[in-house]
A and B are shown apart, each in its own frame.
Chain A
Amino acid sequence: MAREDNDRLNRILREWLDRADDGADREALRQSITQAVDRMTPMADSGNETGRRRRRTSRTICAAVAAAAVLLVAVLWPFRNARQPEPLPRGNDPTQELLAKLDVDELQRRLALLDQLDDLFEDRWEWMVECGDRVDMHVSSKPMDGVSSEPVAVRLAVLVRDNPAEAFRVEEKTFVLTRAEQPVEAVLEDGVSRKLYFWVFPIDDGLFTYDVDLQTTEPRKMSIRTSGAVASGRPTKILSFEQDGRQYRVYLLLVPGRPPSASDRTRQA
């Protein structure tokens, strides 16, 4: 569905540009460019000499810039991981215990739900979000293009600690079952008001780019907005921040793929 919409959007945009292009005086533009360029390089030979001189100057500048860049890299290298997503350490980090449920097996089990959802809603379901004891699900009015949209199971966990001496504890855990490129916009009310916007898109080499916007009002007002890329199957720290003296860490685990659905099996048969 998303792909069809994209194709339609591409088509009307290109037709719009074709119509707009009809009104452009391409020949006059060519002439004005040629005149402007001629004013810059009045004679071919002197232009060539100027070019050689310019190349020598630019080589000197390039060498200076390269030296500065090397120096800059040397200075900044120790901080290179400061803004990159950080996979969860595999050591005896007490945080890991709390994140035990952020595991791939659990998400794969959840992916098995797809069969039942597709059977129940005849390929019309778009996404499902589970948080606390609440579930929000969205179903479209007509069947989705399930073949082109890869299903993805996602666990988003927010950890908090009140001071650096304490271990992190889980503040929020959200499970999302969605399809690639499908925007998720969920509102959950279970004493705590939560609004979640989530979107994921597969890129090469098992990487997924994501966009998260999670807002809560009670018991604590919290706003998490971030985007980036993660490798599938690895819990990854995607955000760290401090608010009201508390330290927060946000982890994301994402597992793609699906077992063959009932409709797939029927088609295969």
Chain B
Amino acid sequence: MTDEQLVASYLHTGNRDALGQLIDRNVGRVRRVVYPMVLNHADADDVVQEVFVRVVRGLGSFRQEAQFATWLRRVTMNTVYRFLKQRQRTRTRLVETASAVEPPCDCRPEQSALDGELDEVIGHALEQLSPELRGALVMTVFDEVTPAELATIEGCSRATIYWRVHRARRAMKKLLKDWV
């Protein structure tokens, strides 16, 4: 079944399994967009949960001729931007990079050390980007969204998206000059 069919099944028959399947199918993809935006595992989990709460609450207004994936991305990015604004206001900046995560195995300690250093640099580099530039980079690189679809999601022109992606890449290349 497609995502759209699962939505229809839940809305028309109240099928909870369809809803569960919809969440299972999309939770990983949403988290892969949210984590690089908020750069903290605990915050990422909270935001992903908030995304799905909003999705379920808003399913009634979802136009079924539209693509569920596009709608989900829009809800995700709106939730992320709102979260980042709130976090900035409360000034609780908790930057956690992947280096804090236990490496899966210690069979290549030199490589792990190099990866740890690079992970820290990437986390800090992403944090330097404004939410809009980071969003453009994250959506195009990690979720492979086309500029046209991203323009629809963000409600701006394609030229603006190309410009944001270019700016973000330029900044990242500068900040990661020893690796790129």
Contact = CB atoms under 8 A, between A and B. Distances in A.
A48 B101 CA distance: 41
Given A6-B169, A19-B98, A44-B16, A203 B162 contact: yes
Interface stretch (A21-29, A123-131, A244-252): A21-29
B142 A14 contact: yes
Interface residues of A, number: 48
Interface stretch (A33-41, A69-77, A95-103, A110-118): A33-41
Nearest to B33: A17
Interface stretch (B53-61, B76-84, B85-93): B53-61
B101 A20 contact: yes
A201 B166 contact: yes
Contact of B162 (A6, A28, A209): A209
B163 A20 contact: no
Nearest to B36: A17
B170 A58 contact: no
Contact of B56 (A8, A10, A37, A62): A37
Nearest to B161: A209
Contacts of B100: 23
A12 B179 contact: yes
B67 interface: no
Contacts of A9: 141, 169, 172-173, 176, 180
A209 B44 contact: no
A125 B97 CA distance: 39
B45 interface: yes
Contact of A24 (B41, B160, B163, B180): B41
Interface in A81-101: none
B8 to A, nearest CB: 12
A29 B49 contact: yes
A235 B78 CA distance: 37
B119 A19 contact: yes
Nearest to A227: B163
B109 interface: no
Contacts of A267: none
Interface of B: 11, 13-16, 19-20, 23-24, 27-28, 31-32, 35-36, 41, 44-45, 48-49, 52-53, 56-57, 59-61, 97-98, 100-102, 104, 115, 118-119, 122, 137, 141-142, 147, 157-160, 162-163, 166-167, 169-170, 172-173, 176, 179-180
Interface of A: 5-6, 8-10, 12-14, 16-17, 19-24, 26, 28-30, 32-34, 36-37, 40-41, 44-45, 47-48, 51-52, 54-55, 58, 62, 181, 183, 199, 201, 203, 207, 209, 211, 227-229
23 contacts: A12-B122, A12-B179, A13-B137, A19-B119, A20-B35, A20-B101, A23-B102, A24-B41, A26-B27, A29-B45, A29-B48, A33-B48, A33-B52, A41-B56, A44-B14, A51-B14, A54-B60, A55-B61, A62-B61, A209-B163, A227-B163, A229-B157, A229-B158
